[in-house]
Structure 1
Amino acid sequence: MGFAHHSNYLKYFEMARIEWLNTIGFSYKKLEEDGIVMPVVATNLKFKTPAFFDDLLVVHLTLNELPRARVVFSYLITNELQKEVASGSTCLAFLNTKNNRPVRCPDTLMEVIQKLL
């Protein structure tokens, strides 16, 4: 097998976001049940070193500011040699599923995030 396909990196970002939410005790599923979704509205991705099939990668996720009607996550992907493979960011909006209009970050999530920053 050769290089990891470039489209996989956004999947790595998504898996890191979901795992981060789970780690801080927040359920994305519950958020959806409450009528709010978080679609990705922008991405940025820079490749530094190729990743290969079977490489062990670590995704480091950072939240640099409190969310409002959107939240921005930064990512750094490293390999088992601690070499930077890629970096990037995603911007997600909070949307009400009934009318597809932006809403502020839910209080339940904001309270958890404020304890972390």
Structure 2
Amino acid sequence: MSQPNRHETVIRVRYQETDQMGVVHHSNYAVWFEVGRTALIQEIGISYGELERRGILLPVVDLHCRFNLPARYEEEVRIVTRIREMRGPKITFSYEVRRLTDDVLLARGETIHLWTDREMKRFNLEHREPELFRKLQTLHQPSEE
């Protein structure tokens, strides 16, 4: 379920995502962030694949994750994704991973990306793709922190 300015994606923890301690391995959170991010962008009617066909790339240049509690095998988790900042060639997404059954915050994170062309040259999305920028702005939610 999604609400204005955010997208929510529900996934069930798979066995291969857990480690020897029976909890989700930390590396999977980056994958879950990508799942949330691609679903959020899809809400404006464009896929990552379409962006790439148009010569628009969105490489990750920074990733942070703060772990509060572990997610475990077969639990359902909700990935809440927001656009926190859009400025020049940069876009920042924020994420919360919450246990679905009780809405407990398991992890919180952020990824920073740059809009680039195929040669990895940065560009300002608002100037190069004003329609796409306007659509993304409808999902933008400034930081409350």
TM-score (norm 2): 0.74
1:96-116 CA-to-partner distances (Å, cap 9, x unmatched) read: 10x321011232321102334
- State, as a whole percentage, how many aligned pairs show the same letter: 28
For residues 100 and 116 of structure 1, the distance between their equivalents in structure 2, rounded to whole angstroms, comes to 25
1:23-53 CA-to-partner distances (Å, cap 9, x unmatched) read: 2212221111111110100001000001001
1:112 aligned to 2:112? no
TM superposition shift of 1:91: 0.3
1:63-117 CA-to-partner distances (Å, cap 9, x unmatched) read: 12334201000111100211000001000111110x3210112323211023344
- Name whichever of 65-74 and 11-20 sits farther off: 65-74
Task: Choose from 69, 72, 94 the match for 1:52.
Answer: 72
Q: Which residue of 2 aligns with 1:37?
A: 57
TM-score (norm 1): 0.91
What number of residue pairs does the alignment pair up?
116
For residues 64 and 7 of structure 1, the distance between their equivalents in structure 2, rounded to whole angstroms, comes to 22
1:8-27 to 2 correspondences below 5 Å: 8-27=28-47
- Name whichever of 88-97 and 106-115 sits farther off: 106-115
CA RMSD of aligned residues (A): 1.4
Gaps spanning 5+ residues in structure 2: where?
1-14, 16-21, 141-145
Task: Choose from 60, 63, 68 the match for 2:88.
Answer: 68
